[in-house]
């Protein structure tokens, strides 16, 4: 028998405000067509004034708990993947813990930018496999609208806000790749590429929040190769191959990256959950948002084999193979 981290609940939250591409035409030298053809994005959600990352994370967590038929008191730990926490400290995760009324267990943030949710899932899997926790809420939540340079058309049209949450539960299963739950993970980073995607502010450097800066063409060049490679590595660790995959649920950054990765893995876009058109790039929130929407649409069903992969600033990238 093997202790697996099995998904027992999922939920997401999107802010009320929807921003269509056309809204940017009044302030930037851009068009709806330009944005769509280069990114696949049609619209995104922006958090309301006063609405924080932990607010959205808590709402997504509440929906995941409701989906599982459980309460916060049934949870041992909370991990929030975010680069846009409410404050420098304490963690957004402890704020979510408070908002859920959870007074036991532990909570912490993981910061790996767009790869954050994959890193958080890997950490949660390790906590469950080692017996340190039985149930872990894993949340991706971001307010990237707060770090945009609204004069930079190459970046500010790409990002959105939102949150998604999974509840993982430890279950003793057969120990084969037919088990439900997380079957394998693969994490990577290479700090030589810091300048490709970063925020030009921080506590110890500028004492300011800063704005997102990106060399988009260079990020794209790294993304497809690294994403396909990490996905195949994770599948190999699980004793599986791309032919076994029911769904790729990728980080929703850019439709061209999503299409390129699927092609490199030899999979059809019919096997890919795509939400980038409606959410934009929500960084660490994009994968749990896509998983939740995929389940709502009826795409993702119990027993399906899923590969989820992401790359973000650092560069940091990785993949998780799980059976729903």
The residues annotated with a catalytic role in the active site are 114, 251, 281
140 vs 84: CA distance, rounded Å: 11
266 vs 259: CA distance, rounded Å: 11
177 vs 235: CA distance, rounded Å: 10
For 298, counting Cβ atoms within 10 Å of its Cβ (0-12 exposed, 13-18 middle, 19+ buried), the class is exposed
* Residues 235 and 245 sit within 8 Å (Cβ to Cβ): yes
How many CB atoms neighbour CB 155 within 10 A?
Answer: 20
* Residues 16 and 143 sit within 8 Å (Cβ to Cβ): no
CA angle 282, 129, 245 (to 5 degrees): 55
């Amino acid at each position: 028998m093997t202790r697996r981290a099995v998904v027992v609940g999922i939920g997401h939250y999107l802010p009320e405000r929807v921003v269509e591409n056309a809204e940017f035409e009044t302030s930037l030298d851009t068009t709806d067509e330009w944005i769509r053809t280069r990114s696949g994005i049609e619209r995104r959600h922006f958090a309301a004034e006063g609405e924080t990352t932990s607010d959205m994370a808590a709402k997504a967590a509440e929906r995941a708990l409701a989906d599982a038929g459980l309460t916060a008191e049934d949870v041992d730990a909370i991990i929030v993947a975010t680069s846009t926490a409410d404050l420098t400290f304490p963690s957004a995760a402890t704020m979510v813990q408070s908002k859920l009324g959870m007074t036991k267990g532990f909570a912490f943030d993981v910061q790996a930018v767009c790869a954050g949710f994959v890193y958080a899932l890997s950490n949660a899997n390790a906590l469950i496999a080692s017996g340190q926790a039985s149930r872990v809420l894993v949340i991706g939540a971001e307010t990237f609208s707060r770090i945009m340079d609204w004069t930079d058309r190459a970046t500010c049209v790409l990002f959105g806000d939102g949150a998604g949450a999974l509840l993982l539960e430890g279950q003793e299963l057969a120990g084969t790749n037919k088990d439900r739950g997380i079957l394998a993970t693969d994490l990577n980073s290479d700090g030589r590429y810091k300048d490709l995607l970063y925020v030009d502010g921080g506590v110890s450097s500028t004492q300011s929040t800063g704005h997102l800066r990106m060399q988009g063409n260079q990020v794209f060049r790294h993304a497809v190769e690294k994403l396909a490679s990490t996905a195949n590595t994770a599948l190999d660790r699980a004793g599986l191959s791309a032919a076994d995959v029911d769904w790729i649920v990728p980080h929703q950054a850019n439709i061209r990256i999503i299409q390129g990765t699927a092609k490199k893995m030899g999979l059809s876009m019919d096997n890919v959950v795509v939400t980038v058109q409606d959410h934009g790039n929500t960084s660490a929130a994009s994968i749990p948002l896509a998983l939740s929407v995929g389940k709502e649409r009826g795409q993702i069903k119990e027993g399906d084999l899923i590969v989820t992969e992401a790359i973000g600033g650092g560069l940091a990238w990785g993949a998780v193979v799980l059976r729903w």
